[in-house]
Amino acid sequence: MKKTDIARRKFMGKLAVVLSYAGLGPLQLSAQNRARQGSGAVAGKPDPKKAADYDKLIKLANNENPYGPPEGVMKAMNDAWKYGNRYAAPDGGLIDAIAEHHQVKPENVLVGCGSSEILKIVDDAFLPDHKLVVGVDPTYFATNSKAKAIAVPLTKTYDANMKEIIRVTKANARDVGVVYICNPNNPTGRIVPKDEIKMLLDSIPGDIPVFIDEAYHHFVDDPNYEPSGKYVIEGRKVIIARTFSKIAALAGMRLGYAIAPKELIDQLKPFVMSYNTNTIVKFGGAASLKDTANEARIKQLNKQIRDRVTSELKAMGYEVIPSQTNFFMVNVKKDVTPVAEDFLKKGFVVGRKFSPMTEWLRVSVGTDEEMKGFMKTFKEIFPAQPTAQTKAG
């Protein structure tokens, strides 16, 4: 057994104490498990990794923008190809554009190969083996971090239980490396209201970093929501992650970033891979930040389609979690894994299972046509139960 394994075992013993003290169980997600969850392939069924199959599939699994990037962003990227053979090419004004967007200095910005890299860097920098991440269950970071989590169950309305997050963070302060808040939360689509973010920051020890993942913030309408950039400006121990993969429609191009006080950015920097982001997408990202009209258009379209589909599902008697994002969860009242397989057989890739919400299917909002197809398929997979009257007749 390697020394690290022994250390890990000893740590697990200690962890069991920590977690039972917190009244919670650790997330049991091994690297192997995570790899399995990532694959959408089913034997003998369409394989999303093959281009011919992929192109035919309706992709409602990864909360992407189904419309693609607007003309201006495409043009900015096309014009940048001439730098494709260089390492230290201009960045298309990306860092300055991000800094301006958040009213911070360029020193407060760190770009990543998607916000996935930012999540990984935070993991590397603040979650060495003996440190815990605190977050709700289910949420996004937990499924990607190698760290053990204090996983706080959601409330009855599927919201973050911020009082409990504060309690367990304080109770385990010495062991907590990061508090992770996904706002709005993936997979539930629920927000943490601005007052509760403030309560968290004001209540926990000031040396514990709070990592706020705002991948879906562009889609939010709720007036109780507020992006948390102002806390970076105030110099609080907050790291905000943003991505160009969602509303900006650049998921395959891989671009995300963090904003944080300089001391935190300096702690993250050593973990960044050299030349981590591709030159072309930096130009696209800078153009995208300025295209607020397109952003508003996508937000509106998403809301309109999401609200229509979720109303239809509710009218059919299904419970749907009210979402502030470009995805929603519907309770299909049976294990999600075979349901996702049934959808795949019919050409739809839908969300995987998010334990412990094993009967809740997460569906990304596609185009109008895609969602009409989704509803038709949903009705085929879940035929309406005959009412007592119909049965008698």
Question: How near is the Cβ of 213 to ligand PLP at its closest, in Å?
Answer: 5
Q: Which is nearer to ligand PLP, 327 or 343 (CB)?
A: 327
| Closer residue to ligand PLP (CB): 18 or 210 | 210
The residue (of 236 and 254) whose beta carbon lies closer to ligand PLP is 254
**Residue whose CB is less far from ligand PLP, 141 or 382:** 141
Q: Minimal distance in Å, beta carbon 234 to ligand PLP?
A: 23
Least gap, CB of 227 to ligand PLP (angstroms): 14
Q: How far is the CB of 355 from ligand PLP (least distance, A)?
A: 16
Q: Which CB atom, from 22 or from 66, has the smaller least distance to ligand PLP?
A: 66
Residue 127: which of 109, 144, 112 has the closest Cα? 144
Q: How far is the CB of 127 from ligand PLP (least distance, A)?
A: 16
Based on CB atoms, which residue is closest to ligand PLP, 186 or 279? 186
- The residue written with tokens 């003309």 in the block is 71
Using an 8 Å Cβ cutoff, are 181 and 200 in contact? yes
The β-bridge relationship of strands 256-259 and 238-243 is: antiparallel
As measured in angstroms, the least distance from the Cβ of 136 to ligand PLP is 12
Q: 18 or 272: whose CB is closer to ligand PLP?
A: 272
Comparing CB distances to ligand PLP, the nearer of 29 and 251 is 251
Judged by beta carbon, residue 138 or residue 256, the one nearer ligand PLP is: 256
- What secondary structure, in 3-state letters, does the chain show? CCHHHHHHHHHHHHHHHHHHHHCCCCCCCCHHHHHHHHCCCCCCCCCCCCHHHHHHCEEECCCCCCCCCCHHHHHHHHHCHHHCCCCCCCCCCHHHHHHHHHCCCHHHEEEECHHHHHHHHHHHHHCCCCCEEEEEECCCHHHCCCCEEEEEECCCCCCCCHHHHHHHHHHCCCCEEEEEEECCCCCCCCCCCHHHHHHHHHHCCCCCCEEEECCCHHHCCCCCCCCCHHHHHCCCCEEEEEECCCCCCCHHHCCEEEECCHHHHHHHHHHCCCCCCCHHHHHHHHHHHHCHHHHHHHHHHHHHHHHHHHHHHHHCCCCEECCCCCEEEEECCCCHHHHHHHHHHCCEEECCCECCECCEEEEECCCHHHHHHHHHHHHHHCCCCCCHHHHHC
Shortest Cβ 7–ligand PLP spacing (Å)? 29
Which residues contact ligand PLP by CB under 6 A? 62-63, 114-116, 140, 182, 186, 213, 215, 243, 245, 251, 256
Q: In angstroms, what is the minimal distance from the CB of 182 to ligand PLP?
A: 5
Task: State residue 301 phi and psi, 5-degree precision.
Answer: -60, -45
Whose CB is nearest to ligand PLP? 114
Q: Shortest distance, CB of residue 232 to ligand PLP, whole angstroms?
A: 18
